[in-house]
Structure 1
């Protein structure tokens, strides 16, 4: 298992869906996970440490009241483009595992402070490594058409309300 941290939450290039990007802690591997609007919002509120209670806070309160501890979230499998995650819980001297969506596991991990782990084979299937880090080669100059497309993309971003996709 490889420890991951949340690098960011954003919209897909088409602006129709949301993606959470995990990054290897202390490394360069990245792992994107497609999520829905509600899941993206839950993760973003956890990243912002929003004090307003969310459903994930209720789950953590229940665990605490039962003297259970969420020790880590594990993203273990990837089949058919769908990841399966597990909550690893320590309760009264026993280890429990509860299957969950990766997005729910990530939201809980951010709120509880426990690590997010990903299986190495999942990273091998769905992750990527930024191999250009440290490269001394300069980028080739961009042509006017590429610059125009990039400017159009930048201007379409909704920076005032990042939870909401920009209007076309």
Structure 2
């Protein structure tokens, strides 16, 4: 397992579908994952420190974990099958709960939980970005500084099962 950071979310053109971009903490690979608009908004809210007037689903799950004394130990992106990514929420008790990566990432950002990715997933779907291409990544980061959660609103959510 390799630890990854959440770089941010963006809308991929021309499909107009949001993606979340992860990056290896110690490496040069990036992992783009197609996500739904609602999850993109939840991730963007967490990254921007936006606190909605009422808890969103991911805020509610965080509150439930805290209220029941459960601690989220780690988020694992464990598999990619037929183009669909799979993740696990790993509780401190050892219990593992299957989750969509987008939901797991939104929860991880709210709980400051470490995110790791299976090496074979990074090998299959990761994109190596050599140092000379870091300028493009910097442009993406600048985009993220100016994007708002409303930019991801869409009626459909491709982030299945």
Question: TM-score surpassing 0.5?
Answer: yes
Instruction: Let me know the Cα RMSD of the aligned residues.
Output: 1.7
Return the offset for 1:87. Answer: 0.1
CA 37–105 in structure 1, closer or farther in 2 if over 3 Å, else same? same
Is residue 22–residue 32 contact of structure 1 (8 Å, CA) maintained in 2? yes
1:19-39 residue CA offsets vs partner (Å, 9 max, x unmatched): 100011143110000011111
**Corresponding residue pairs, total:** 138
CA 68–45 in structure 1, closer or farther in 2 if over 3 Å, else same? same
TM-score by length of 2: 0.80
Equivalent-residue separation in structure 2 for 1:61 and 1:41 (angstroms)? 19
1:69-103 residue CA offsets vs partner (Å, 9 max, x unmatched): 0011000000100011000012xxx3100000000
Equivalent-residue separation in structure 1 for 2:20 and 2:147 (angstroms)? 19
* SS state at 1:164 partner: helix
TM-score by length of 1: 0.77
- 1:73 corresponds, among 72, 75, 91, to 75
Equivalent-residue separation in structure 2 for 1:160 and 1:122 (angstroms)? 28
Number of the residue aligned with 2:28: 28
CA 119–95 in structure 1, closer or farther in 2 if over 3 Å, else same? same
Residue segments in structure 2 that go unaligned for 5+ positions in a row: 134-145, 153-161
Number of the residue aligned with 1:125: 124
Is residue 10–residue 162 contact of structure 1 (8 Å, CA) maintained in 2? no
- List structure 1 runs of 4+ shifted beyond 3 angstroms: 159-163
Q: Which has the larger helix fraction?
A: 2
Q: Larger relative contact order (C-alpha < 8 A, sep ≥ 6)?
A: 2
Larger Rg: 1
